[in-house]
Structure 1
Amino acid sequence: MNFSTELIFALATILLIPIYYYFTKLRRIEKFFENFPNPPTVPILGNARDFRSGPAFFKSIHEYTRKYGNMVHIKIGPIGHVLLASDYKFLEFLLSHNKLLTKSINLKFLEPWIGTGLVTANGGPKWKTHRRLITPAFHFKILEQFVDIFESAGNILIQKLSKESGEKSVDIYPYVTRCTLDVICETAMGTKVDVQNSETSLYFHSVKEMCRIFLARTTSILKRYDSIFRFTKDYEIQKKSVEVLHGYTKSVINSKRKELEETRKEGNYSDVDDLGRKKKKVFLDLILEATVDGQSLSDEEIREEVDTFMFGGHDTTATATSFILYCLGQNKDVQDKVLEEQEQIFGGEKCPKVTYTNLQEMKYLENVIKEGLRLYSPVPLFGRRIDQDVEYDGKIIPNGVGVIVFSHGIHMNPEYYPNPEKFDPSRFDNVEGKQPFAFIPFSAGPRNCIGQKYAMLEIKCLLSKIVRNFELSPAFPRHEMILAPETVLKSLNGVKIGIKSR
C-alpha cells in the first residue's frame, strides 16, 4: 500500500467513524427522543441558550415542566440529548431498578478529590462492596454517639449568632456552613478543624474551591475537556486544593491506623475508656475495622470514602438548615409550634442536655424539615445515564440516554402537593409509605443517600437549638432569594433572616 492509498484509507476511516456512530448509536437515541415534547430550539445550540446562568437554568427547567409535562426532551448542542424527568411512574422505574445505577458523567469532575467512592462510582462490584461495608456506620447506635458532636458545634454556632442578634438582618448561610463542616470533620475523622473560630482555615478554603471548580467544569463547554482544563488557572488551584485535602485526610488515616494496630497488639478491645465511658467511634474508625467477605478497604479506598463523606455531608445539611430557618422566619405560626414542642420536651431550658431520644421525640420539627426539603430541595436535580438497553412502558430506552432526575419538579407538582408554593408541614402528618417516589430529597432506591438519617438528625439538632435561643423573622428590607442549582441548591444573594435573642 503506497502513501497516497494509505492517506485515502485514513481519511475514509475518519469520515466513516462519525457516520458509524450516528447510525449505530446516536440515531437510536434520536428516535427514542421523538416520543417526547421538545421546547423550541435554535440551530447548533439546541436549548442551551435557556441555560445562560444558574438561575436561568433553574427557571427554564421549571417552565419546561409546566409547559410540556413531566417527561421533556432537552437538546443541548448539535448532538446532545437529555430527558428531563419528574414523572412519578418513570422515577419509580428508574430509581428502584437494580441495574440502572450509573450516575451522570459530570461526576468525573469530582474524581480528582473524592476518587471513585460511593457518590461517583458506577454501580459495579466496587460500589456494591463499599455500600455493604459502609452501611453499618450509619446504624442508629452509631448516630447516637454523634449527638454530642452536633451539640458542641451547635453551641459555638449559637455564640456566633448571638453577636448578630438585634434589629439588623443576617445572612445565616456562612455561619451554618462553617458549623456543618466542623461537624462533618469530627464525625468523619474524629478531628477538630474549628472553622467556626478560624477565618483563615486552609481546609475550609480548599473544600469551597473544589466545589466551585466542579460547578465551573460542569457549566463550561471548554473546561469539560481535560486537555483544555489543564491549561487553565483553575487546574493549578485544583492541584493545590487536592494536595491540602488529601494530605489532611491521609495524615488522619495513618494516625488512626497506627492507633488501631497498637490497640490490637496490646489486646485492648474494650468498648469503654479508662473512666468507664463508652468509646466514641467515628466514621473512619468504623471503616478501618470493617470487612466484607474477609476483605477490608485499602488506605486509598478509605481516603476516597472519607473525602466523599466530607463532600456530600456538609454543604447539603448547611443548605437545608439555612433554607428551613428562612421558612421559619417567614412563617411565625410554624415557628411557634416548633418552640411549643421544644418546651414540651425541655421546659424553658435554652441549652439542655439533648439526647438521641429527645431528637426522636421532635415529630413536628421532623415534618418541618421534610417540608423544607420539599420546598427547597438541597439536590434539586441529579443525573443518571442509561448504560444498557432497557424496556419501559412498552418502549426500549437505548443505551446512552442521559436523564436529569428533576426531584424539585415532582416536589412542586400540585398533583402530589396542592398549593405547592406554600410552606405547610402538615402535609407530612400521614404520608408514611404513600407514594415514596414523590418525595426524593435523598434520592431513592439502591443509590439513595446512605447518610440521610445522619443528615436528618444533624439538621434537627441545629434547628431545635436555634429556635430555643432565637426568635426568627423575615429580613428587613424584604429579601427575595435568587436560587440556582450548583453543587447543591444555593441562594446567590444569601439566605437572610432577622434574629433576636429570646
Structure 2
Amino acid sequence: MAATLTLLLWSCLIAPVFYILWTVVKFWQDVKKRGKAVMQFPGEPPHWLWGHLHLIFFPDEFMLANERAKLKDLPLIVAGWFGPFHPVIAPNHPDTIKSILRTSEPKPLTFGGYVTALPWLGDGLLISKGKKWLRNRKLLTPAFHFDILKPYMKVNNEAADILLNKLDGYSKKSETFEVFNAISSITLDIILRCAFSFESNCQLQKSHPYVTAVKQLGDGMVYRLLRPWLWNDFIYFNLTSSGRQFRRNCDFVHKVSEDLIAKRKKTLEEQGVSAAKGRYLDFLDVLLTARDEDGQGLTDREIRDEADTFLFEGHDTTASGISWTLYSLAEHPEHQQKCREEVQEILAGRDSDHITWEDLPKMKYLTLCIKEALRLHTPVPFIERRTTKDMEIEGKFLPAGSVINMMLYNIHHNPTVWENSMEYRPSRFLPENMKCMDSYAFIPFSAGPRNCIGQNFAMHEMKVTIGRILNRFRLELDPNHKTEHVISVVMKTKDGMMMNVTPVDKKPSENDVHVNGCVTQNEA
C-alpha cells in the first residue's frame, strides 16, 4: 500500500515536470521552424535578446525615418524578430503583401498588437477568425449599406455645427487649438450617435471620460506590445500598475457599451423595431435584430464586442485621418484653397451650409487631398496576420503559424511604388495617374476579404467634417509648435497638433506674412 502511494505521489510530481518540458521543447521546435523560414528573407542581424525591438521601441519620427531608409535597400520584404522567440516577416511592396491580404487569414493572438487588444475589443470583427468571423461579417454588412449610411449625413452635419461653433470661439479669441482633441471629440460624438443614437455632449466637455479611457487604452496597447515580458496576462494585469489601469479602463468602456445595449434591448423588446420610427436605424438596431441562416442572432457578449470594435475603429482611426488631412491642407494652402473653392461652388446659393448625400461624389478634389493625407500619414500604420496553412511568398516557403507584420506605412512610402513619397501630391490619385497603379499600393483601409467594413462610413464623415471646416475657416499651422508623428494604435502626434483658424470672410491683414503656411505678424 505504501509503495503504491509513493508511486502515485512520484507520478503526480513527475507528470507536471514532463508536461512542462514537453511544452518547452515543442515551443522551441516551433520557434526554430518559423525562425528558419523567416531568416530566408533579408534583414538586419537581430540582437540575441531584443531581436529588432530596440529599433521600434520608441515609435516616433526616428523610427519612421529608419523604416523609410530600409525601404531603399529592402523594398520588397524584410525579416524581423520581436524578442528572441517571435520571428516575423514584413512585406513592404504590393507584390509581396497581396498574397496574404487576398486571404481571410486571422490575426495573431499569441503575441503582438491584437493580443493586447483582446481584453478591450474581445472577439469582435477586428480580431475574430474562421467561421465566427465569416458569420459575423455577413451579419454586420447590412449595417453599412447606403440605405443605412444616408441618414447619418444629418448626424455628421449636426456634429459639425458644434465643432464649427467651437472653432469660431477660438477664432474670435485668436487662440490656437489642439486639433486631435477637437477632432477626437467630434468623431466620438458621431460614432456614439450612429452606433447608439446616444447624445453624449462630448464635444462640449473639456475632457470626456470615454475619450480619455480610449486614449489610455490605445497607449497602453502599444506600451505592452513593445515589452514582450508583459505579453503574459497574469504578469501584466496583476503585477504592473499599467496593467491594472488598463483593466480599469476596459471595465469602464465595457460598462458604457453594456448600459447602452441593455437600454436599447429593453426598448426593442417593448416596442419592437417600430422603436426606431422617427429616427435613423443605427448600428445597435442592426446588431440586435440581425439573424443568420438558422435564425440565430448575436449573443450579448458578441454584441458588446462588435459595439466596442465599432466605437474604437470608427472613432480613433477616423480622427487620425481627419486631423492629418487638416494638417496637410494647413501646410499646403494652395491645396486648401482649391478644396475650399470646390466646396463653396457646391454650396453656392443655399441657405444652409450642410453637406448632403448628393454632394459627396462632387467633392472630387477634396477626395484627392484626403487620400493623399491617408497615404502620407497612414492612420493605421500596421496590421498583422498569422498563417493557418503553409504558403509561399517570393518563392520562399512559410510554414503554418508564421506571423506577417504588414507595415501599411511602408507600403505607402515605398520609393519603388511612390515617387518622392514624402511629398504631399494629391494629383497622384487622379484617375489617369492611378490606372497603372497596383490596387494594393494604397490600402489605408486594408484590402481583400478582411478589409475595413466601415470605410465608406469613414470617408463620408471625413468629407463632411473637413468640407464644412474649409467652407467656414482658413487653417494655419502654429509657427511656434513642431508637429511630430508618433504611433499609438493609430498615427498620432508626440506633443499635439496646434493650429489657428480665421473666418474665410475675413481678409488677411496687410501686415501678415506667410511662413510655411502659417500667418505671422511683421515686426515693426
Q: TM-score, normalised by structure 1?
A: 0.91
Specify the alignment match of 2:403 in structure 1: 402
Distance 1:221 1:260, change over 3 A: same
- Matches of 1:75 and 1:251, distance apart in 2: 42
Is the 1:58–1:485 contact (alpha carbons within 8 Å) kept by the matching residues of 2? no
Distance 1:499 1:324, change over 3 A: same
Structure 1: 5+ residue stretches without partners: 274-278
- Matches of 1:207 and 1:103, distance apart in 2: 22
Query: Is 1:491 aligned to residue 493 of structure 2?
Result: yes
Query: Is 1:196 aligned to residue 199 of structure 2?
Result: no
Query: Is 1:470 aligned to residue 473 of structure 2?
Result: yes
Is the 1:168–1:476 contact (alpha carbons within 8 Å) kept by the matching residues of 2? no
Matched to 1:494, the amino acid is G
- Matches of 1:336 and 1:257, distance apart in 2: 47
- Matches of 1:139 and 1:370, distance apart in 2: 22
Specify the alignment match of 2:459 in structure 1: 456
- Choose 163-172 or 463-472, whichever is displaced more: 163-172
Q: Please report the RMSD computed on the Cα atoms of aligned residues, expressed in angstroms.
A: 2.5
- Matches of 2:299 and 2:45, distance apart in 1: 50
Distance 1:399 1:343, change over 3 A: same
Query: Is 1:288 aligned to residue 293 of structure 2?
Result: no
- Matches of 2:83 and 2:351, distance apart in 1: 56
* Aligned counterpart for 1:27 among listed residues 21, 26, 32: 32
Cα displacement (A) at 1:468: 0.6
Is the 1:41–1:75 contact (alpha carbons within 8 Å) kept by the matching residues of 2? yes
Is the 1:39–1:68 contact (alpha carbons within 8 Å) kept by the matching residues of 2? no
Specify the alignment match of 2:303 in structure 1: 302
* Aligned counterpart for 2:64 among listed residues 34, 58, 68: 58
Is the 1:217–1:223 contact (alpha carbons within 8 Å) kept by the matching residues of 2? yes
Query: Is 1:256 aligned to residue 270 of structure 2?
Result: no
Query: Is 1:216 aligned to residue 218 of structure 2?
Result: no
Cα displacement (A) at 1:159: 1.1
Query: Which digits, 9 at most, give the CA deviation of each residue in 1:245-266, with x for residues without a partner?
Result: 22222222222122222223xx
Is the 2:101–2:447 contact (alpha carbons within 8 Å) kept by the matching residues of 1? yes
- Matches of 2:277 and 2:51, distance apart in 1: 62
Structure 2: 5+ residue stretches without partners: 1-5, 505-524
* 1:308-319 equivalences in 2 (<5 Å): 308-319=309-320
Query: Is 1:45 aligned to residue 77 of structure 2?
Result: no
Specify the alignment match of 2:375 in structure 1: 374
Q: TM-score, normalised by structure 2?
A: 0.87
Secondary structure at 2:170's aligned position in 1? coil
Secondary structure at 1:120's aligned position in 2? coil
- Matches of 1:6 and 1:261, distance apart in 2: 54
Query: Which digits, 9 at most, give the CA deviation of each residue in 1:387-436, with x for residues without a partner?
Result: 32223444321122211101111111233322211111111111268411
* Aligned counterpart for 2:106 among listed residues 91, 101, 106: 101
- Matches of 1:5 and 1:422, distance apart in 2: 68
Is the 1:323–1:372 contact (alpha carbons within 8 Å) kept by the matching residues of 2? yes
Distance 1:243 1:350, change over 3 A: farther
- Matches of 1:411 and 1:9, distance apart in 2: 52
Query: Is 1:115 aligned to residue 122 of structure 2?
Result: yes
Query: Which digits, 9 at most, give the CA deviation of each residue in 1:305-344, with x for residues without a partner?
Result: 1111011111111111111111101111111110111121
Distance 1:418 1:290, change over 3 A: same
Secondary structure at 1:476's aligned position in 2? coil
Matched to 1:64, the amino acid is K
Distance 1:88 1:14, change over 3 A: same
Cα displacement (A) at 1:485: 1.5
Query: Is 1:238 aligned to residue 246 of structure 2?
Result: yes
Distance 1:20 1:196, change over 3 A: closer
Distance 1:83 1:178, change over 3 A: same
- Choose 1-10 or 331-340, whichever is displaced more: 1-10
- Choose 369-378 or 431-440, whichever is displaced more: 431-440
- Choose 391-400 or 312-321, whichever is displaced more: 391-400
Specify the alignment match of 1:142 in structure 2: 148
Specify the alignment match of 1:276 in structure 2: none
- Matches of 2:413 and 2:321, distance apart in 1: 17
Matched to 1:210, the amino acid is L
Specify the alignment match of 1:67 in structure 2: 73
Is the 2:71–2:414 contact (alpha carbons within 8 Å) kept by the matching residues of 1? no
Query: Is 1:154 aligned to residue 157 of structure 2?
Result: no
Cα displacement (A) at 1:204: 2.8
* Aligned counterpart for 2:171 among listed residues 158, 165, 170: 165
Is the 1:246–1:303 contact (alpha carbons within 8 Å) kept by the matching residues of 2? yes
Matched to 1:68, the amino acid is L
Distance 1:27 1:248, change over 3 A: closer
Matched to 2:490, the amino acid is V
Cα displacement (A) at 1:243: 2.9
- Choose 459-468 or 66-75, whichever is displaced more: 66-75
Q: Count how many residue pairs are aligned between Structure 1 and Structure 2.
A: 490
Matched to 1:116, the amino acid is D
Query: Is 1:364 aligned to residue 365 of structure 2?
Result: yes
Is the 2:268–2:275 contact (alpha carbons within 8 Å) kept by the matching residues of 1? no
- Matches of 2:83 and 2:361, distance apart in 1: 49
Matched to 1:362, the amino acid is M
- Matches of 1:501 and 1:355, distance apart in 2: 22
- Matches of 1:367 and 1:165, distance apart in 2: 28
Is the 1:329–1:498 contact (alpha carbons within 8 Å) kept by the matching residues of 2? no
Secondary structure at 2:230's aligned position in 1? coil
Is the 2:321–2:373 contact (alpha carbons within 8 Å) kept by the matching residues of 1? yes
Query: Which digits, 9 at most, give the CA deviation of each residue in 1:34-85, with x for residues without a partner?
Result: 3211213333222222223111443333333333332111123223211121
Cα displacement (A) at 1:155: 0.9
- Choose 289-298 or 208-217, whichever is displaced more: 208-217
Is the 2:155–2:194 contact (alpha carbons within 8 Å) kept by the matching residues of 1? yes
Is the 1:70–1:87 contact (alpha carbons within 8 Å) kept by the matching residues of 2? yes
- Matches of 1:421 and 1:116, distance apart in 2: 37
- Choose 8-17 or 399-408, whichever is displaced more: 8-17
- Matches of 1:26 and 1:137, distance apart in 2: 41
Query: Which digits, 9 at most, give the CA deviation of each residue in 1:326-366, with x for residues without a partner?
Result: 11011111111101111211127695232111122211111
Distance 1:103 1:365, change over 3 A: farther
Cα displacement (A) at 1:5: 9.7
